[in-house]
Chain A
Amino acid sequence: MLDLVWLIPALPLAGFLTLLVLGRRLGEPMAGWLATAAMGGSFLATVAVFLGLLDRPGDDRFFNQVLFEWVPAGNLSVDAGFLVDPLSITMALFITGVATLIHLYSVGYMHGDPNFSKFFLYLNLFAASMLVLVLGDNMLMTFLGWEGVGTCSYLLVSFWFTSEANASAGKKAFVTNRIGDWGFMVAMFLTFATIGSLSYADLISSSMSGEIAAVTATGIALLLLVGAAGKSAQLPLFVWLPDAMAGPTPVSALIHAATMVTAGVYLFVRVNPVVAAAYDWVPDVIAWVGVLTALVAATIAVAQNDIKKVLAYSTISQLGFMFFAIGSGAYVAAIFHVITHAFFKALLFLGSGSVIHGMHDEQDMRRMGGLRRFMPITGATFIVGWLAIAGVPPFSGFWSKDEILLYAWADSKAIWALGSIAALLTAFYMSRQVFMVFFGEPRWNEALPVAAAAPGGNPDAEVEPESEDVAPAEVDEHPEHHVEDPHESPWTMTLPLVVLAGAAIVAGGLNLPFTPDLHFLGHWLEPSLFGNEAHVDATTGTKVFVAGFSVVLALAGVALAALVYLQRRFDSAVIEQRAFAEGWWIDSTFARVVAGPGRQLFDLAAWFDRTIIDGAVNGVASGVRVGGTALRTLQTGYVRTYALAVGLGAVVVGAWFLTRASF
C-alpha cells in the first residue's frame, strides 16, 4: 500500500488540472464538489499509506518512491521522489484531513461568488504543493512545494481581490517570502556544496556521521531558520501574515493557519540531525526567536478588533510556541502542537468565517455580541476551539502546550517564563474575542463609537477614522441597515465545524503524559527523530507543577477577560494599548525602511539610469536638438556615451589581462 504515496499529491493535482480545463463549464457547485472529492480521495490514499506503514516494524518505517530523475545535473542527481516515514505521513494525514473539510466548507462559503471554480482551482493546487512539500524526499522537492504554496497564497490573496490594497498586501507577502526563500536556496546550495547531494537521507546520515562540520551545519541551520521564519511568520518576517487575511476565510484557515505556515516547523523536525550537529547555541537562537514571536504576537492580538486579525496574530503566536519547542529539543511536542493547532485554528477560522457570513460581511467584533443565540452550532463549536487554544483541560490545546512548556522549563527558565506569559495572553485574547462575539448584547444596530475607532487597524490607521466617520451617518439615515439578524450557515459549513470541534476535543489523546505507554505520537515519530529528542528528567512533582501552573494561567486569562469584557469592571482601554493595536509599529517601521533607504537605493539606480546612462545632460541635449544634428537623442541616450562605456570597459578589461601578462 506504500506504493500509493504518489496518489496523495497526484489527486489534488488532477483536480487542479481538471478545473483548469473544465472549471468554467462545471461551474457552481460541481467544481467545488469535484475539488472536494479529489481532496477526500487524497485523504483516503494517505490513510492507506499510513496503514501500510503501520504494518512495518518500528525501525523499518522508511519508504522511498522515486518517480523519475528530475534534475540530472552531472554528479548531482535530484529525483522527483517521495519519502514516506512517520513524520511525513503524520503531516500528510492532518493536511489532507483538514483540507478536505475546508474544501467542503468552501462549497457553502463561496456560494454565489463569480470566481467559484477559480477558487477551488487554486485550493487544489495549494493542497498538491503542500503535500509535495512534506512528502518530498529531497530539499529540491520541498523547495518546489515551498514555492508552490507561496505562489498559491500570493495568488489567493492578491489576485482574488483585484483592489490596490490587496495587491500591496500580496506584494508584502511576496517580498518577505522571497527573503525566506533566499535563505532556503542558499541553505540548499550549501548542502550541495558540502555533501554533493540534496536528499534528506544523505543530509541526515552525513550530519550524524560528522561528515558535516559543526560550522557548516550551523550555517545550514541558520539559513533554514531564515527560510522558516519567512514561511512560518516568525520575527521579524511575520508582517505579511496579518495582511494575508484579506483573502477569503477558508484560505486563511487552510493556508495561513493550518498548513502552509507550519512548513517551517516541519522542515526543522525533518532536518533535526543538522540542528544537532550545529553549534549548541543554534537551538537557543531558534528558541528565542520562537518565544519572542509568541509573546509579541500575543500582545498585538489583545488589541485587535477585526475578528480575523485576532486569529491571525494568534496564529503567529502559536507558531512561536512551536519554534521554541524545536529550540528546546521538543520535536514531538512541536509536531503535536502543529496537529492540535491545525484542528482548533482551522475550526476558529471557519467559525469566524461562518460569523462573517451570518453577519453579512461584518468583521468588526465591536458590532457583534450575543451571537450564540442566533448561530448555535457556530457558537458551540467556536467555544470548543476557544477552550482548546486557551489551554483548558481536557481540550487538545492544553496537552500540546503543556508539553512544550515542560520542555522549555527543562531547557531554560527564562524561555519558560516568557512562554507562560504568552500562554496567559492567549487565554485572555481568545476569551476577549469569544465574549465580544458570542456573549453580551447584540450590537449590530449600534453605531461604532468614533473615538474608539481610531486605534483600530494597524497599517492604514490614518485612513480609517475618515471612513468610520461616514459609517454612523449612514446608520442614522437607514435605520434598517443592519437590522436583519444573523443566521446560521448551511450544513456544508457547519458539518466541518462539528468534525473539527470533535477533533479539537480529542486530539490531545494522541500523546498523553500520564504513562510512557500513552505517548502514542512520541513512539510513532521516534524513527524520524534519530534520538535527537530532548529527554526531560523531571520528577512527577515538577510535571504536575508545570501542568497545574498552565491550567492556572489559562483560567486566569479567561477570568481576567470575563472581568473586563463581560462584567465591564475595568476599562478595556487600559489593556488595549496603542502599542499593541499598532503591532509595536513593526509593520510601519518596515514600510518606512522599505520606503526610505530601500527606496532610495532604487531611486539612486533610477537616477543613475536617467543621468549617467542616458547621458541626458539637459543643456547639451537641447542644444543638439536645436542644432538638429542627426545624432540627437530622441528616446534617451547618446551613442557616444555607450561607445565611451564600451571603450572604458575595454580599458578595464584590457588592464586586468595585462596584469596577468608577462613581458
Chain B
Amino acid sequence: MIAAGLSNLGVLAQIAEFTPLDTPEVQWAALLPLLILAGGGVVLLTVSSLVKAMAAPGVNAAATVLVGLASIIACVPVWQRVQDPERGPFTAVGGVIGIDGFSILATGLIAASVILAALLLDDYLRREDIDGVEMYALLLLSASGGVIMASANDLIVMFLGLEALSIAIYVMAAMHRRRIESQEAGFKYFIVGAFSSAFFLYGIAMVYGATGSTNLVEIATFLANNLLLRNGVLMLGMALLLVGFGFKVSAVPFQGWTPDVYQGAPTPVTAFMASAVKVAAFAGLIRVFYLALGTYSLDWKPAIYALAVLSMIIGATFAVVQTDVKRMMAYSSISHAGFVLVAVQAGTEKGVTAAIFYLTSYVFMVAGSFGVISLVGRRGDAAHSLDDYRGLSRSRPGLALAFTVFLLAQAGVPLTSGFVAKFNVIAAAVDARSFWLALIAMLASVIAAVLYLKIIVAMYLTGDDAEADDSVAGPKVSIPLPAAAAIGIAIVATLAIGVLPGYLFEVAGDAVPVLIALP
C-alpha cells in the first residue's frame, strides 16, 4: 500500500511539473482484430445513416461479414508473432491487454460467431420487418466487448469488456419490437445481468483490497510471494468473481435467466449469445482463476466442481422435459457449460486445452443448431415447439440432416466434434484424478442423449399412420442462401473437427493462456 501511495504521489508530482504524461505503449498492430470489430461497428452505423444505398437488402449483413472476416485475417499475423518462440506473447496498452494464443483464438471464435450470426440475421430481419442497421452495429460492438473480456490482463478492463458485451446484448435481445417475449427477454436479462455485474464488481474490489492490484500478473505474483495470514477478503472476492462468471456462462444456480432469454430473444441473437458470450465469459473465467488465482486452486476447485455437477445434471434433466426446442437448447447449453467447467476444474494445462477445444467445437455446433431453429421458427419466430419439427425430414431433408448432425455432435457421438470435445474434457478430469466428476459427466451425457434423440425422432417421424395428412407434409420452411451458408460452415467445422481433431488440438495446445508481465 505504501508503495502504491508513493507512486500516486509521483504521478501528482509529474502533473505539478507539467511534464507530459507517459502514454503506455499501445501496440496498435496487435489490437487490430479488436479495432476492426469495434471500428467496423461504428463506421457501419455512421455510413448506413448517411448513405441510402446501404439500405438495400443484404448490404449491412455483407458488410458485417466482411468486418468479421477482416478481423479473423488480422488475427493471423498476431498469432504467428505470438507463436514465434523468439518473440512470444506480449502485452498491449500498458499491460492491461494480454496478447497470447488464448486471446487470439478467442478473438477468432468471437469473430466467427459474428459472421455466423450476421448470415442468419440477414433474412431474419427482413422476414420480421425489423429494419435498420442497429442490430449489426450492436453485434460488432458486443463482439468487441467480448474480445476485450477475453484478452483482459486487468480486472477493471475485463469488467469494461463484460459490460460492453452485455449492454449490447441486452438491446439485441429486445430488438424484436412486436414480439413481447423479446422485450421481456431483454428486460429480464438486463435486470439480472446488472445484479450479477454488481457481484462481479464487488469481487474485483475485494481482490484489489486483498492483493493491492487489479492487474492479473501482479495479483498472481503477489499471491505467489506472500502467504496471506488473513485471506477472508480474498476468499470473498473469489466467491463474488465466480458468481459473476457463473452468471455469464449460465452455470447452475445462476442459470435461471437462460431459458427465458434464449427463448425470447430473436433466434440469431440467441445463436450469438450461446456462442460468443460463452466463449468470452469462459475466457475471462480461465484467465482469472487459472492464471491469476492459480495458487488458490485448492480453494476454488471444489466450488467449480459443484457448479459443474449441478450444471451438467440439472441442464440435461430439465432439457429432457421441455417441449419447446429453443428452451431445450437453452438447458442443453447449461449442460455444456457444466462440461467446460469440468475441464476448468481440472486446473491443469490439459484441462484448459480441453476447455478451449470444447468451446471451439461448441461455437459451431450451437450456432448451427440455432441457425436451423431460426429457419424452422419461420415468420413470427414462434414455431419452436417439438410438434413444429414433425416431418421436417420430408419437407426439408437437408435441413433435417444438418440439424441431426448438430444434435449428434451435441450428444457427443463419435466422428463429430462433440465426441472429441467431451472425450478431452473427461480425459482431463481423469488425469486430474477427479474420477467422480468424470463419472457424473458421462452420466450426464447419457441423460442428455435422450433430449437430442427426442428432437431427431420428431424430425424423422413423418407420421405415416397418423390420420392428419398435414402432419405428413412437414413444415414449409424456406432456406435463404446466407443462412444455408452459415449452417454449411458450421457443419463442415463440426465434422472436420470430429474426423481430424489433431489440428485443432495443436491449436488449442498453443492457445493455453499465459501470464505476461510488462517488459
Interface residues of A (CB under 8 A from B): 68-76, 140, 143-144, 147-148, 151, 158-159, 161-164, 167, 170-171, 174-175, 178-179, 181-182, 185-186, 189, 192-193, 602-603, 605-606, 608-609, 613, 630, 633-637, 639, 641-643, 645-650, 652-654, 656-658, 660-663
Contacts and interface: CB of A to CB of B under 8 A. Distances in A.
B426 interface: yes
B427 A656 contact: no
A159 B391 CA distance: 12
Contacts of A162: 460-464
Contacts of B41: none
15 contacts: A72-B505, A158-B460, A164-B461, A171-B453, A171-B457, A178-B449, A181-B446, A189-B430, A608-B318, A634-B184, A635-B264, A652-B253, A656-B239, A661-B234, A662-B230
Interface stretch (B139-147, B154-162, B437-445): B437-445
Contacts of B423: 71, 73, 140
Contacts of B180: 634
A653 B243 CA distance: 8
Contact of B299 (A72, A144, A613, A657): A657
A311 B435 CA distance: 42
Given A171-B457, A174-B453, A663-B232, A642 B188 contact: yes
Given A181-B446, A189-B438, A70 B502 contact: yes
Interface in B389-413: 413
B256 interface: yes
A159 B394 CA distance: 12
B79 interface: no
B385 interface: no
Contacts of A637: 188, 256, 260
Given A162-B462, A613-B256, A646-B192, 7 more contacts: A167-B461, A186-B439, A649-B254, A650-B239, A654-B236, A656-B239, A662-B232
Interface of B: 180-181, 184, 187-188, 191-192, 195-196, 199, 228-232, 234-236, 238-240, 242-243, 246-247, 253-254, 256-257, 259-260, 263-264, 298-300, 302-303, 306, 317-318, 320-322, 349-350, 353-354, 413-415, 420, 423-424, 426-428, 430-431, 433, 435, 438-439, 442-443, 446, 449-450, 453, 457, 460-466, 500-502, 505-506
Quick one: which of B256, B298, B446 has the most chain A CB within 10 A?
A: B256
Contacts of A175: 450
A641 B442 contact: no
A641 B257 CA distance: 9
B230 A635 contact: no
Contacts of A192: 427, 430
A140 B424 CA distance: 12
A224 to B, nearest CB: 15
Given A182-B443, A635-B264, A662 B231 contact: yes
Nearest to B252: A649
A606 B460 contact: no
A164 B413 CA distance: 24
Contacts of A639: 187-188, 191-192, 257
Nearest to B251: A649
Contact of A646 (B187, B195, B238, B430): B195
A200 to B, nearest CB: 18
A598 B118 CA distance: 43
Contacts of B264: 635
Contact of B246 (A74, A193, A608, A649): A649
Contact of A661 (B232, B317, B318, B430): B232
Contact of A656 (B192, B263, B302): B302
A661 B231 CA distance: 6
A70 B463 CA distance: 40
Contacts of B353: 74
Given A74-B431, A648-B253, A660 B235 contact: yes
Contacts of B428: 73
A301 to B, nearest CB: 29
Contacts of B506: 72
